[in-house]
Structures are given as structure tokens and as C-alpha cells.
Structure 1
Amino acid sequence: MTGYEFEATLYAWDARTDTWIFADLPFDIADEIEDAQTGPRRGFGAVKVEVAIGATTWRTSIFPSKERRTFVLPVKRAVLKAESLEPGATASLRLTPLS
């Protein structure tokens, strides 16, 4: 599967603003990833991905959000710190779905 590059605004999760930071995938990228999924899905409809922001790369999962109508990407606090980012910042992301 192909990789994607996009910019997204980082935001704190409404229910736990002290712990979880997310970025929304653009609708067109979310649609492509959704269409490419085959076989049984992981819990909550998650898709495993590798993500990079700046010099920091990590593996995580993206999750479908009915409320936001796209996949949401959790961004670790360690990544925010390493890349000098905080909620409200716009980040340049590289995301590759994993099989």
C-alpha cells in the first residue's frame, strides 16, 4: 500500500485533554485507506500504520471516528516533545498503512 503525506492540526481529545492528542486524516486519504482494507478488521476498526513527523517515526493504529467522519491518529507525547509541537500546531505527517 502507498504512503501519504499531509498536514493536520493537532488537537486534544475532548474527553481526556490531559492525555490524548490526535490528528485527523484528510477525507480523501481516509477514503483510500478504508477502500483498501480487506479481511477482518482490528478492534474498533483500527488500521496499523507507520507515521513520521519530522525526524520522529513510530508505529501505531488509526481509528475510524463517526463524529469526525474520518480516521483519527493518536500522536504520542514523546513525539510532540521531540518535534517541539503542542495541541493547535499544524504538523506535516507521513503515514504508511501496514499490512
Structure 2
Amino acid sequence: MDIEFNGKIWYWRGPAPWFFVTVPEAQSRDLKAISSAVTYGWGVIPVHVQIGNTEWKTSLFPKEDLYLVPIRANVRKAENLAEDDEVTVLLQVQL
């Protein structure tokens, strides 16, 4: 399953701070529909992600009926990204 969407980078200031992009509601519903077939536990979904020219593998985290894409520091640096930047995200679910 391939998904493309635009979203804003946001910063979670929890005990382990991290940057994320939230998958929109419609695409999150599609992911939820296949989650039981692809999750390896806790509802996380393994994906291949691309933002700009940077690609990496990670897992989507479920949160309140949506999914979060974690954006690593090396990705933010390579693509010159910061909090509140709008990005196009390409996801490929790892089946």
C-alpha cells in the first residue's frame, strides 16, 4: 500500500522529545483497515518513508485514531526541515 500526503512537522515535548508528521484522517482509516495484517505489536505499522530526496524505514505510531510518522534528526538535517514546515510524505507499507 502506497500513501502520499502533505502535513506539517510538529514537535512533541515529552520525556523523549521527537518530531512527527500526522497522517491525515482518511489515510489513517486506510492504514487502520490493514493494521492487523501488518503490525508487529502495539499497533505500530512498519513503513518505508520518503520526504524530498531522503528515504528511510521506520514505524508509524497509532494515536487517537490517527498515525504519526517520526522524523529523525538526520532526515530533518538532510532536507533542512524544522517545526511547522509543510512536507510531502510518501509512505510504503511494508507487507
TM-score, normalising length: structure 1: 0.87
1:58 — aligned with what?
56
Give the letter aligned to residue 85 of structure 1. L
Contact 2:35-2:43 at 8 Å conserved across structures: no
Q: Equivalent residue of 2:81, what SS?
A: coil
Residues in 2 aligned to 1:53 and 1:35: alpha-carbon distance in whole angstroms? 24
Residues in 2 aligned to 1:98 and 1:48: alpha-carbon distance in whole angstroms? 6
Residues in 2 aligned to 1:16 and 1:86: alpha-carbon distance in whole angstroms? 20
Structure 1 unmatched ranges of 5 or more: none
Residues in 2 aligned to 1:64 and 1:93: alpha-carbon distance in whole angstroms? 17
2:9 — aligned with what?
10
Residue range with higher mean Cα deviation, 76-85 or 8-17: 8-17
Structure 2 unmatched ranges of 5 or more: none
2:39 — aligned with what?
41
- Is 1:77 aligned to 2:76, yes or no? no
Give the letter aligned to residue 77 of structure 2. K
Counterparts of 1:16-31 in structure 2, within 5 Å, are 16=15, 19-31=17-29
Aligned length: 95
**Larger % of strand: which?**
2
Identity %: 26
TM-score, normalising length: structure 2: 0.90
- Is 1:89 aligned to 2:89, yes or no? no
